[in-house]
Amino acid sequence: MGKETGFLDYERKDQTSEGALQRIHHYNEFHTPLPKEEQEIQGARCMSCGVPFCQSGVMLGGMVSGCPLHNLIPEWNDLLYHGNWEEAWYRLKKTNNFPEFTARVCPALCETACTCSLNQDATAIKSNEYGITEYAYENGYAKAKEVTVRTGKKVAVVGSGPSGLAVADLLNHRGHLVTVFEREDRCGGLLRYGIPNMKLEKQIIDRKLRIMEEEGVTFVTSCNVGVDKSANELLESFDRVVLACGASNPRDINAPGRDANGIYFAVDFLKSTTKALLNSVDGTVKETDCISAKGKNVMVIGGGDTGNDCVGTSIRHGAKSILQLEMLPKAPDTRNANNPWPQWPKICKTDYGQEEAIAVFGKDPRVYETTVKEFLKDKAGNLNGAILVKLKWEKDKATGRMIMKEIADSAYEVKVDLVLIAAGFLGSESYVTKDFGVETDARSNVSTPELDFRTTKERVFATGDMRRGQSLVVWAIREGREAAKEVDLSLMGYTNIYIQ
């Protein structure tokens, strides 16, 4: 695929980023795409490797290597190189309902599995995907396609995140009548309110939702299924129900002083900023319109993507200082010998938020092997500090597992006005699962048979993070696609939904 010697003839070029000290003054996406001709050259670097690990999506070393959607990456890279952008779009869409999302927020498992990355820089797959997608929108290839044949079957999808939207998209094109219920005021799930604008501007979501509406999908917002509308009501009105509510139970920090004013879950903090932006007329966020970090000493608990998003958002608010806690040791800067290609590289990643903190404050905000021992508050109950403690990881002699232990006499106090808990999510919310009467597992995820999406309740299916636990957007889309196939089979007795 591509030019046979392209990986030797051309160096990797990617989208350029606005400088850290410039982009912190706005909430917009800050990458500049490559020119059309340069993007085609990047397609030429796909090296005809014979075994495209980039699209494999297999488990290696306990982590996924390659794209879980099995995107036909060598094929659309080749089409891109030859200037056939329209056909590249159609090949991309065969496996991915929402490349406009993944081209922005996916961590690019494909690139770390790219054969080029074994000895040099990987093919710019994510950038190529972005270029193909935006070109398709600009030239009318991505416009709505009329659904001409309807089955008369009705499906309710509860939740409008990437998994729920993927289910709705495929089932609608199959001819079923699909209604998506969303408890928030706008659709998109965590795409809308969990991922900040810097990574995914919300008009990109709205652009796709308009197309889906034109194609026949009905969206009902501000309807909290399990509260505003019961499970029985849905089951009486629809032939099938798909639960795609996500893993929306944030993991808490149980330490003395947790009830202090000024401690928030990360998702609530990020949501408040996004809502303020959506309601803003000039693209700015007022301190009174959100959970504000302006002028505050911020402590973010959690080192993942959400924690990084909290760092970047706090800087844009005008935080006085930022500290980010990670319980785990710092990952190595390069691959260890026991983490070879094409496994996902378990190395230290410095993301945009940390880059901006380094530029603003002169140092990396992350502190490793550290946790909160106690939150401190004043007489009015307001947070004014925290006691932190260092940790060490030791092997438990009885179980052989690594366990975390507090290091004696390692406690110290820090000044903190705002704490953002970004420690992950535990599973689905009980009021939904109880209303539908579906069984859950020990992690509060909805129980389904392996490689199946049917719950213990007849005619009710589950998909996405609600079924598998917190994961990536690309996995949510994959789950939604597979669930749509199962729902269609149960409705029609056969299915012509093809999943790569």
| Residue among 294, 297, 306 at smallest CA distance from 270 | 306
pLDDT at 3: 83
The DSSP secondary-structure symbol of 269 reads H
pLDDT tens per residue across span 131-142: 999 999 999 999
- The predicted model gives 150-174 an average pLDDT of 98
At 192 the three-state DSSP class reads helix
Question: Residue 299: what are its φ and ψ, rounded to 5°?
Answer: -120, 120
How far apart CA 90 and CA 154 sit, in angstroms, is: 28
DSSP assignment of 31-91: EEPPPHHHHHHHHHT----SS-GGGT-EEETTEEES-TT---HHHHHHHHHTT-HHHHHHH
- The predicted model gives 165-181 an average pLDDT of 98
Assigned CATH topology for domain 6-138: Fumarate Reductase Iron-sulfur Protein; Chain B, domain 2 (1.10.1060)
pLDDT at 498: 83
Could you give the percent of the chain with pLDDT greater than 90? Answer: 91
Average pLDDT, the chain: 95
- The predicted model gives 72-88 an average pLDDT of 96
Specify whether the CB–CB gap between 73 and 46 falls below 8 A. Answer: yes
Assigned CATH topology for domain 263-421: FAD/NAD(P)-binding domain (3.50.50)
How far apart CA 488 and CA 121 sit, in angstroms, is: 42
pLDDT at 90: 97
Domain 154-249+426-492's class? alpha beta
Read off the pLDDT band of 1 (50, 70, 90). Answer: low
Read off the pLDDT band of 398 (50, 70, 90). Answer: confident
pLDDT at 50: 86
Are 154-249+426-492 and 263-421 equal in CATH topology?
yes
Read off the pLDDT band of 47 (50, 70, 90). Answer: confident
Specify whether the CB–CB gap between 81 and 6 falls below 8 A. Answer: yes
| Residue among 165, 172, 168, 30 at smallest CA distance from 101 | 165
Quote the tokens at residue 390: 């260092």
Over 70: is that where the pLDDT of 266 sits? yes
pLDDT tens per residue across span 304-359: 999 999 999 999 999 999 999 999 999 999 999 999 999 999 999 999 999 999 99
- The predicted model gives 384-399 an average pLDDT of 92
pLDDT at 2: 67
Over 70: is that where the pLDDT of 165 sits? yes
How far apart CA 245 and CA 247 sit, in angstroms, is: 7
Rg over CA atoms, the chain: 23
pLDDT at 104: 98
pLDDT at 499: 85
Question: Which range, of 42-51, 393-402, 416-425, 489-498, averages the lowest pLDDT?
Answer: 393-402
Domain ranges of the chain: 6-138, 154-249+426-492, 263-421
